[in-house]
Structure 1
Amino acid sequence: MSAQTWLARQRTDAGLSTRLLVAQAMVLMAGAATSWVVASLVAPGIFHDHLVQAGAGHSAAETVHIEEAFSSALIISMAVALLTSVLMALLVTGYFTRRVQRSTTHVSHAAARIAEGQFGARVPNPGLGPEFDQLATTINDLAERLGDVEGTRRRILADLAHEMRTPLATIEAHLEALEDGVRTLDEPTLAALHGGTQRLHRLAQDISAVSRAEEGQLDSRPVRTNPQVLLESAAAAAQDAYDAGQVRLAVEASGAVPDVHVDPQRIGQVLANLLENALRHTPPGGSVWLSATRPDNHWVELDVTDTGEGITPEHLPHVFERFYRADPARRHQPGSSGSGIGLTISRALVEAHGGGLSVHSAGQGQGATFSIRLPAAHG
């Protein structure tokens, strides 16, 4: 914020507080003057009537003196009382005016910082009533929301820059080799170029999907669905890839498992990602099976279990992070079309349905189980 802008806002804030104080002072002075005039006109007459009704034996001069004494005492006491009341009221008004001024200044400064991209700015609770509290809460929520969106944007840009290096380097190396005559445009070269472009395309799609999911902007059409149908559909779609990889894929028959209220396409995408991940890390001759269970009356669990490489304990908490491949037991194998954020997308999709995605593994070489927990449909 420039110095001129800050000074202008300070003048605006000072003008507002001054106007409020002057307005309150005028109201108080008008009320005090009105009270003084009315008391001066009405009170002496009432006193005179009471004095006459009392029938006290006073001469005319004494009566006039008594009435003048009463009027003087009344006027002086009223003036002192009203002046004191006005001063006290002005002090109280000034105090609250300054509080309002500080609150509006905090709001304006926080809004200016947020507009400049400082999303950590917050408005303190003004303590001036529910209206001001709601205003502060709304601005703070807005700042937090904008900060989350900005954080997501920065992470996406960083992730893209990191992940695009490998396919771009591969494409560039092959193109340079073609230009230098080191390689010819044969089938392996075309396959490498196509593989690099496909991975870039998959990366762009997955980044877009996970961003929409984390920001709650997914187009979802939930319907009542049988969990067994979800598992069998996912297994049927992945069967050819599993046959090619010589990995056994099976769907266990479930018992009395209630329906779930989900978007079949989105949960099918989650299961496809988990099955692709399981195939990537299960050697030929291994097995992957799908199952549905009912841990309690409120939830349904869909499990994808493999007999593959497993996950070491220190890396389990990071499995769902974008592009996390630090664990050699779950490495990204050459030639894979995965973007590195399939599990991140899966978790975001499941959470968008009000559920959760977790993983369990006994360690390296012990396989892994990914569990999708979804709310059971009732009624």
Structure 2
Amino acid sequence: MKSPIARLSAYVSSYNLGPKLLLSHLLVTLIGMITFGVVSFVAPLIFGGNGAADLLHTLLYLLLATAASMVSAMAASLFVAGRITRPLKYMLAATRRISGGSYGEQVPVQESDELGELSESFNAMAAALRDGELRRQEFIADVSHELRTPLSTLQGYMEGLLDGVVEPDEETWGLLYAESERMRRLVEDLRQLSRVEAGQLDLHPASSSAELMVCRATESLAPLFAEGGVRLETSLPEGLPEVFADSDRVVQVLTNLLRNALHYTPADGKVTVAASPRNAEVLFTISDTGSGIPPEHLDRVFERFYRVEKSRSREGGGSGVGLAISRALVQSMHGEIWAESRGAREGTTFAFTLPISRGTASEGSRKS
């Protein structure tokens, strides 16, 4: 059980910094006054004499009382100043270490006032910097890994051609072209992702038909689905409202999600594209009967190069940033995107929303 002093300290600490500073100044003044009064009363008893009659003794008592009150007030001020400056010193030292590259720094949260909130915000900032540094390191490692494989293939075949071990036939040139195209596609995707995340990608939002965009995406990929033996179906209600978005970028998002669904759906599987109005938005969903995603990975599937199965290679797959590009594009068009899955081998649903065009919304309200 806490002592009365501990409970009083906790109660005072719950106040904001302004009232605490006011109370601290009043406390210092009160301590000085009490000390002055106590010494003025006790000093005559110690030194003797009549303070009213003896001017010298009176001055001595006042001097001792003033000195004692100053010492006690200084002690109280140092205590209060220490409680205020200690968190700032912690943050100053941690800031210097963070600037030196130590991103795992955290400062203790000792108060519940503005200084405590500042300490919590500082810890959140340090954690964000640490996560950003880890993502940067992972990104560099992933890019190096993705480029190393085609570069190694190109170098090996080039050495074989120079040594005369590999015949310069049509198959060899086709393989070299495919690997160089793979690198070009990766670099182009990374450039596009960087531009859209920085807000530098040109978008041309307008009232666009959701049904037409779904049809454009599914028709362009229908031959690939037929080749892979995967059924591609659409579910579009009548009177689907138009969305305010860049139609080409929406088709790009749908294409990326459809390619991803095709890549992870086995033959005889099914992929369904649906769209439906929801409040002031249109909800697009791409559902497959593929391998599914464990719940602990759902929040990270939109990160660059993230793979649920770390051992899975990208042979025959995309560049590894298609989902990241899709998320950046949807967010830049004021929409949201997410993934849902009940687990491994349970299929996956990717969904995103886009705002309904104002003209369509007002027309619907007039009809109603």
What TM-score, normalized by structure 2, do the two folds share? 0.65
CA apart distance, 1:197: 1.2
Match in the other structure for 2:14: none
Cα distance in 1 for partners of 2:54, 2:246 equals: 88
Match in the other structure for 1:38: none
Counterpart amino acid of residue 115 in structure 1: S
Match of 2:326 among 340, 343, 346: 346
The answer on 1:87 being equivalent to 2:68 is no
**Which structure 1 residue ranges, 5 or more long, are not aligned?**
1-23, 36-65
CA apart distance, 1:349: 4.4
Match of 1:117 among 101, 104, 117: 101
CA apart distance, 1:107: 2.0
Query: Alpha-carbon deviations, 1:153-212, whole Å to 9, x = none?
Result: 111122123323332232122112212212232221111111111112222333455567
1:277-296 matches, within 5 Å, as 277-281=260-264, 288-294=271-277, 296=278
Counterpart amino acid of residue 103 in structure 2: F
Counterpart contact for 1:357–1:373, Cα < 8 Å: no
Cα distance in 2 for partners of 1:316, 1:77 equals: 75
Counterpart contact for 2:339–2:350, Cα < 8 Å: yes
Match of 1:302 among 256, 260, 284: 284
Cα distance in 2 for partners of 1:141, 1:333 equals: 35
Match of 2:252 among 265, 269, 278: 269
Give secondary structure in 1 for the equivalent of 2:53: helix
Give secondary structure in 1 for the equivalent of 2:139: helix
CA apart distance, 1:147: 1.9
Query: Alpha-carbon deviations, 1:243-265, whole Å to 9, x = none?
Result: 76676655433245555555544
The answer on 1:357 being equivalent to 2:338 is yes
Per mean C-alpha deviation after superposition, the further-off stretch among 273-282 and 179-188 is 273-282
Match of 2:159 among 152, 155, 176: 176
Cα distance in 1 for partners of 2:128, 2:122 equals: 10
Counterpart contact for 2:153–2:179, Cα < 8 Å: yes
Counterpart amino acid of residue 270 in structure 1: V
Cα distance in 2 for partners of 1:136, 1:72 equals: 54
Q: 1:280 to 1:126 in 2, by over 3 A?
A: closer
Match in the other structure for 2:80: 96
Higher alpha-carbon Rg: 1
Aligned residues: CA RMSD: 4.3
Match in the other structure for 1:217: 198
Give secondary structure in 1 for the equivalent of 2:285: strand
Counterpart contact for 2:273–2:285, Cα < 8 Å: yes
1:1-379 matches, within 5 Å, as 69=53, 75=59, 78-125=62-109, 127=111, 130=114, 132-133=115-116, 135-137=118-120, 139-209=122-192, 217-219=198-200, 221=203, 225-239=208-222, 241=224, 249-255=232-238, 257-260=240-243, 262-281=245-264, 288-294=271-277, 296-297=278-279, 300-306=282-288, 310-312=290-292, 314=294, 317=297, 320=301, 322-324=305-307, 326=309, 334=315, 336=316, 338-347=318-327, 349-350=329-330, 353-360=334-341, 364=345, 368-374=348-354
Cα distance in 2 for partners of 1:345, 1:76 equals: 82
CA apart distance, 1:359: 3.8
Match in the other structure for 1:18: none
Give secondary structure in 2 for the equivalent of 1:371: strand
- Give the count of matched residue pairs: 309
Match in the other structure for 1:62: none
Q: 1:70 to 1:264 in 2, by over 3 A?
A: farther
CA apart distance, 1:356: 2.7
Counterpart amino acid of residue 159 in structure 1: D
CA apart distance, 1:292: 0.3
Cα distance in 1 for partners of 2:293, 2:125 equals: 38
Cα distance in 2 for partners of 1:223, 1:76 equals: 89
Cα distance in 2 for partners of 1:297, 1:177 equals: 61
CA apart distance, 1:97: 3.1
Cα distance in 1 for partners of 2:102, 2:296 equals: 34
Counterpart contact for 2:273–2:284, Cα < 8 Å: yes
Query: Alpha-carbon deviations, 1:284-342, whole Å to 9, x = none?
Result: 78764421024x53654212244xx61156589468263526399xx7685x3612332
CA apart distance, 1:272: 1.2
Cα distance in 2 for partners of 1:96, 1:200 equals: 62
Counterpart amino acid of residue 217 in structure 1: A
What TM-score, normalized by structure 1, do the two folds share? 0.64
**Which structure 2 residue ranges, 5 or more long, are not aligned?**
1-24, 37-49, 362-368
Match in the other structure for 1:11: none
